[in-house]
Amino acid sequence: MPDYMPHTDEEIASMVAFLGLDSIEQLFDAIPKALQVAGGLSLPQGMPEPDVMASMKTFAKMNKAGADQLICFAGAGAYDHEIPTVVRTLGGRGEFVTAYTPYQPEVAQGVLQAIFEFQTMVSRISGLPVANASLYDGSAAVTEAVNLAVAASKNETVYLSSGVHPHWRSVVKTFARGTGHNIVEVPLNNGVSDFDAVKDAGPPGVIVVGHPTYLGTLEDLADVRSRCDEAGALMVVAADPVATGVLRSAGSWGADVVVGEGQAFGTSLGFGGPYLGLFACTMDQVRRLPGRLVGETVDEEGRRAYVTTLRAREQDIRREKATSNVCTNQTLMAVVAAIQLGWLGTQGLREIAERSVRSTRYLLEGVTKIDGVEPLLPGVATVRDVAITTPLKADLVLERLAEEGFLGGLALSALTDEGDGSVEPNLREHAILMSATEKRTKDEIDQFVTALTKAVVK
């Protein structure tokens, strides 16, 4: 059996003796015996490295995912976009691929400038004046936004629209169990938030909506802003950054905080991560902004320089009083996003958004010609994602599509819990959420429609 342990028995005995202990087990006396595993773990024998590699490759072949094996029509917050070669090349440079946190500006100007450019791009996309150096993912961003908004409004009642991604809502509710925030879920009515359904819940301190919703529908953000003004609440918008290429920015509608998932900008689909949380806010809230913030200044010789600024908000200084406990996050994802956005430019982002909208519309037109397949929300305009219902249960349909080489979308029964306010209970088991990005060709969509036609036959 190969031994991967770095210490010999003699070395371990020497260290134990040096510490004045009788055995290595004494190092774990602080852990209750009930929590210790007696007799060691039941693990197989070790293998040589070539055998380990062969075993892992065998396991990997069991997965069917991504454009290599399945043509992707799934969305719901993670999208199969083109990633230019230049993005992978520049993003893979050793100067960027590091766990080093750039707190020393004299040796980190390159990384700091890249982060500053990222912040500038997020600010433009969101329509708000200040953005941070990123968070872990979209769910972390919306949770931090709720925390900021509650602190600012001094009202712990949070109106959380069911149009926000179900996984993000789940993280917000988990966080609220520790903070005591009162989460009031606002159900959807025909794809938009039905605030009248929660009018007895009391005035909110925060209203959180999607732009678009995770179902692809569009909220009336002017109405949301009006409701916030009436209640003295902050407006938090979970926005899709690619959709901003064809929609007005959430900031232009009066949002106080805009958050989102930046995976679409240069990050591959990878079983959930690492992804990229976007966070922007008004200047009124900059002191409550979570995470790192890079600013531009001049050095003692008058040259432009970049530094981490407003550091007093961070945990290494304020400890338990910090506005956030975000520390070394996946800054590489932010750098990659900045590279992709810089490569695309404003016009390129608009073109990707327009092509994605056209592809999704063509997809919907094709699948709804199939007998028994209907839009989940007939007559409701959608952007980015679209939901359909099928005569068979969604799980079975998606399984059949996978056999034909397609990742056909996500079953809403898997994405949502029973009683979720975003979908009618009688339709939930038969609903599929789909999306088509700029990568999907007309031929691929036509082939998918043909495959779905067969998949829905009983």
Q: pLDDT tens digits for 241-282?
A: 999 999 999 999 999 999 999 999 999 987 777 899 999 999
Q: Is pLDDT at 346 greater than 90 in this prediction?
A: yes
Q: Is pLDDT at 410 greater than 70 in this prediction?
A: yes
Q: Which of 66-80, 140-154, 342-356, 424-438 has the lowest mean pLDDT?
A: 66-80
Q: Are 66-83+346-455 and 85-338 the same fold in CATH? A: no
CATH of 85-338, one of 3.20.10.10, 1.10.10.10, 3.40.640.10, 3.50.50.60: 3.40.640.10
Per-residue pLDDT at 1: 46
Mean of pLDDT values over 149-169: 98
Per-residue pLDDT at 2: 53
Q: Is pLDDT at 164 greater than 60 in this prediction?
A: yes
Give the model confidence (pLDDT) of 276-292 as tens digits.
999 999 999 999 999 88
| Number of neighbouring beta carbons within 10 Å of residue 271 | 8
- Residue 405 Ramachandran class (φ > 0 left, ψ -120 to 50 alpha, else beta): left
Per-residue pLDDT at 101: 75
User: Coil, helix or strand for 354?
Assistant: helix
Phi, psi dihedral angles at 368 (to 5 degrees): -80, 0
* Amino acid identity at 152: A
User: Coil, helix or strand for 158?
Assistant: strand
Mean of pLDDT values over 92-117: 88
Residue with more model confidence, 41 or 428: 428
pLDDT category of residue 322 using cuts at 50, 70 and 90: confident
In CATH terms, is domain 66-83+346-455 a member of 3.90.650.10?
no
Task: Quickly tell me which residue has 């002191």 as its tokens.
Answer: 287
Instruction: Tell me how far apart the alpha carbons of residues 430 and 157 are, in angstroms, rounded to a whole number.
Output: 34
Per-residue pLDDT at 102: 80
Edge-to-edge, what's the strand order for the sheet holding 410-411?
374-375, 386-389, 431-434, 410-411
User: Coil, helix or strand for 186?
Assistant: strand
Phi, psi dihedral angles at 333 (to 5 degrees): -65, -35
Q: Is pLDDT at 3 greater than 70 in this prediction?
A: no
Q: Is the pTM of this model over 0.85?
A: yes
Q: Is pLDDT at 37 greater than 60 in this prediction?
A: yes
Task: Quickly tell me which residue has 């007093």 as its tokens.
Answer: 312
Instruction: Tell me how far apart the alpha carbons of residues 191 and 113 are, in angstroms, rounded to a whole number.
Output: 41
111 and 335 in contact (C-beta within 8 Å)? yes
- Mean of all residue pLDDT scores within the chain: 93
Domain ranges of the chain: 66-83+346-455, 85-338
294 and 134 in contact (C-beta within 8 Å)? no
